[in-house]
Chain A
Amino acid sequence: MIGAEVTFDVPIPKVIWGWLVSTNMWAKSIATGSFFLGLYFINKYPEQDRFFRKWLPILGLIFIGITLLVTILDLHHMFRFWKIFVHPHFTSAVTLGAWVVSGFVIILLIAFWSWLTGKRKLFDKVMIPGFILAFFATIYTAGIMGQATAREVWVFPAEMISMLLSALLAGSAAYLVIDAIFNHPLKEEIRKELSYILFGSAGLMAAMFIGELVFAKMHSEFAHKVIQILAFGEVAIFFWIGMFLAFIVPMIFVGIYTQKKDYKYALYGSLSALVGLWFIKHAWLIAPQSLPLS
C-alpha cells in the first residue's frame, strides 16, 4: 500500500486508440513488409520476379487499403480527413504519415499497373522512391508513438526498429502464406530465405519485448507500471497470446519446417505470426493507456 489513495476524481478517458489502431499497424506491417521483401526478392532473384511483381502490389494495396480504412473509421470526424491535406501541420507524424502513405499508395498503384500491363520498367523506375516511402510508411507510426509523449514505453528509435521488424515478420509471413495457398510456386531457396527472415525478425522482436519487460523498471516508474499491466495486468492475455503466436510458434514451426522440409509448418508458422502480431500490437497499444496520466 502506498498510503495515498484518490478519493475524488472525475471519470477520465482510458482507451483512446483501440482495436482500429492495432489493426492499422498490423495491416500496414503486411503492406510495407511485403513491399520491402518484394523489392528484395525481385532484385535478388529476377528469375522469380513474376511472383513478387504480382503479389507485391496486390498485398500492398489490400493491406494499405485496410490501413487507410481503419484510420478513417477511427477518426471522430471521418468526413474531415481531407483537412489533413488542406491544413497540414508538418511537425505532426500523423500528417507526415498521411502524406507518405498517400505517396506509397501511388507507388503501389504504379506497381499494380506495371504488373497488369506488364510494363516492368514502370515499376523499376519508382523502386527507390517506393522504398523510401515504404520505409517511412513503416516508421511513421513509430513517429506517432514517439510523439505520443504521454505513453512512455513508446520511445522512438526502439519503436522504429520494432516497426521495421514487424514489417519483415508480416511481409515474410504473408508471402509464405501466399506461397502455400498457390501450392508453392516459390523456389525452395526463396521460401527458406523467407523463413529465415520470419525466424530472425520473430527472434529479434521477442528479444526486444523481453528486454522491455526486464529493463522497463529501470527507465521510469511509469514504464515499469505499463510493463506490469502488459505482462500481468488487464492486457496480459493479449500480450502472452501475442508472444506465443507471433514469436514462439513461428520460430518453432519454421525450425521444424527447415528441418523436416514439411511446407505445412511454414504455413502454420506464418499464419500464427500474422495472428500473433495483431495481438501483440494490440497489447502494446493498450497497456500504456491503462494508467492515469494525472
Chain B
Amino acid sequence: MRLGFLVDLSRCMGCMACAVACKAENNVPLHSWRLRVKYIDQGEFPDVKRHFVPLRCNHCENAPCERICPVSALHYLPNGIVNVDHDRCIGCASCMMACPYNAIYLDPITNSADKCTYCAHRIEVGLMPACVVACPTHANIFGDLDDPESEISKYLKSHRDVMVRKPELNTHPKHFYVRGSTVALDPLASERPEGFTLFTEVKFLDHIGGH
C-alpha cells in the first residue's frame, strides 16, 4: 500500500476548509500549518486570474526529511506515510532545512518537528484524512496508489496533466496535482511580497518553535 494524495486544482476554490479541518483534527497550534492554501493573483485588469493551491507534505518516496533526521523521529510507516514522533525529536530542525517544500515546522507547544501525516491515525481505523472529508468541492482525492481501482489511481490514469512540485529534485512526491500550472506550483513563478495583501499579512515568522 502506498498512500497518495491528489488535488484537482480546477476544483479547488481556496475556501480553507481543509486547512481548518486539519487544525481541528490534529490540534495544530496557532502559528503553524500542516496544510496551507496559497492564493496567487495573475495578470492585468481585466485579464486577471486567481489561483488557489493547497500545500501539504508530499510524503516523498525519497524523502530528504526522513533521510536527514538524526534520530528517525521522521520515519516511514508501512503504508508509505512519512510519520513524525514528537517524543523522539531533538529539535535540530535539519528536516526543515531538508524539505524542499516547506512542509515541516516546529510545533510551538511541543517544540518538536511536525507536519502533515496524511492523518495516519485516522487511516488506522479506515477513515479518510480530515482535509479530504471536509473539502466542499472534492478537490482532494486520497487513496492507495498501488490499488488500480482506487479513485486516485483512476484519476492519475485519466489525466494527462499530472504534476508534482519540484520533480527535478528526485524526491518522488506522492502528492499530485492535476489541472495545475507553473504559477500555482512553482514558488518562484510568483512574487511573495512581504506585508499586507488583499487578504492577509504575508510574512516570514520571526521565530520558529517555542522559543
Contacts and interface: CB of A to CB of B under 8 A. Distances in A.
A198 interface: no
Dominant secondary structure at the A interface = loop
Contacts of B31: 11
Contacts of B189: 2, 4
A89 B72 contact: yes
A124 interface: no
Interface stretch (A25-33, A144-152, A177-185): A144-152
Contacts of A291: 187-188
Interface in A27-60: none
Given A3-B44, A5-B40, A148-B98, A83 B169 contact: no
Contacts of B165: 294
Given A6-B202, A92-B70, A83 B97 contact: no
A74 interface: yes
B101 A74 contact: no
A125 interface: no
B137 interface: no
A144 B198 CA distance: 39
A240 interface: no
A9 interface: yes
A139 to B, nearest CB: 16
B68 A147 contact: yes
Interface stretch (B103-111, B118-126, B152-160): B103-111
Contacts of A3: 42-44
Interface residues of A, number: 49
Contact of A221 (B42, B105, B188, B202): B188
A293 B171 CA distance: 14
A15 B43 CA distance: 31
A9 B202 contact: yes
Nearest to A150: B100
Contacts of B209: 76
A6 B70 contact: no
Contacts of A259: none
Interface string A43-85: 0000000000000000000000000000000111110110110
A78 B111 CA distance: 11
Interface string B178-203: 00000100011111110001111111
Contact of A8 (B33, B38, B44, B89): B38
B197 A149 contact: no
Contacts of A81: 90
A160 B115 CA distance: 30
B99 interface: yes
B97 A8 contact: no
Contacts of B101: 150, 293-294
Contacts of A83: 71, 88, 90
Contact of A150 (B33, B97, B203): B97
B152 to A, nearest CB: 21
A15 B93 CA distance: 11
A4 B40 contact: yes
8 contacts: A2-B190, A7-B40, A7-B198, A89-B72, A92-B69, A92-B70, A149-B169, A225-B188
Interface of A: 1-17, 74-78, 80-81, 83-84, 87-89, 91-95, 98, 144, 147-151, 221-222, 225, 289, 291-294
Considering the complex of A and B, which 10 residue pairs feature the smallest CB-CB distances, nearest first?
A: A76-B91, A14-B204, A8-B39, A4-B190, A94-B70, A148-B97, A293-B102, A4-B42, A149-B64, A77-B91
